[in-house]
Structure 1
Amino acid sequence: MPDPVTAPETVFGFDFGIKRIGVAMGNTMIGHASPLAVIKGEDNQTRFAAIKALIDQWHPAKIVVGLPLHPDGAEHEMTARCRRFANQLHGRFALPVELVDERYSSAVISAKRGEVIDDRAAAIILQQYFDQHPPH
């Protein structure tokens, strides 16, 4: 039986947006993030129902949320919205939530005009988390 301290855990990453939320997943054993889903819909009921379905399916042990900041590190309107979203995730699902600086994560992705890239942005955010917390 695996040691519960070192057993791999599933981790979700979120790229929060007003119109869409990108979701990625990975595990602590390999420390690799992969795009999982894009949640569409502007109302909280729709969004959180979709998030709950993913949580029920994958049983993550932790959630990582990208925190948008200005290039100089200053906060702005979306920073507050992401903090609120992270607090709601923690409150609704009783899972630990960590914020990760997402500056420049979208710059890493070159997408065609109109292409939905939110799940890939979430994967980059989650990968940044894994890179900062490598497996033991």
Structure 2
Amino acid sequence: MPDLNAPQMIMAFDFGTQKMGMAVGQAMIESASPLALLPMKDGIPNWDQLLKIVQQYQPDLFLVGLPLNMDDSESELSARSRKFACRLRHQTNIATLMVDERLTTREARGELERYQAQGRGKKLAADSVAAALFIESWYRNPEGLTP
């Protein structure tokens, strides 16, 4: 029986200073679908545009990629990603978790090639595919993420 308290709709973000990948997923069927890139201006989204997208999908949970170095240390981009996640939570009052995104870009490029081979990836970007991979990692290990 499904957990009725668990999030049903999940939205994930692969934060970047120039563009941000986004994806949505439905927990009940464990799906994850990349969305179009969201333009960023020096790491800041157009909040009106982003909030309209959030309203369209009505997620119960946000996942935001945390770019860690291979030695587990954080970088300036890590801090900016955490700041975005904090603002997103504040703007929407929706639970927001951070996802270790190490090596997902490489995996996302391989997935993007698969989408393109199926004729579905012409307008997709690796950043949005990476966001979909964050959702898939949550399905496999929902307790392994950090607030």
Identity %: 32
2:132 is the counterpart of 1:118? no
- Identify which of structures 1 and 2 has the higher relative contact order when contacts are C-alpha pairs closer than 8 Å and 6+ apart: 1
Shift of 1:129: 1.4
Taking the aligned partners of 2:97 and 2:68, their CA distance within structure 1 comes to 15
Shift of 1:6: 5.5
TM-score by length of 1: 0.84
Taking the aligned partners of 1:13 and 1:104, their CA distance within structure 2 comes to 16
Shift of 1:133: 2.8
Aligned to 1:64: 63
Taking the aligned partners of 2:7 and 2:76, their CA distance within structure 1 comes to 35
1:8-47 C-alpha deviation (Å, 9 max, x unpaired) = 611000000000011100011122211022101316362x
Aligned to 1:129: 138
Q: How does 1:16-95 map to 2 (within 5 A)?
A: 16-42=15-41, 44=44, 46=46, 48-95=47-94
Check whether the contact 1:31–1:131 (CA below 8 A) recurs between aligned residues.
no
Q: Which structure shows the bigger proportion of residues in helix conformation?
A: 2
Q: CA RMSD in A?
A: 2.3
Q: For residue 54 of structure 2, what is the amino acid of its counterpart?
A: I
Q: For residue 141 of structure 2, what is the amino acid of its counterpart?
A: Q
Runs of 5+ unmatched residues, structure 2: 114-123
Aligned to 1:11: 10
Taking the aligned partners of 2:8 and 2:76, their CA distance within structure 1 comes to 32
TM-score by length of 2: 0.78
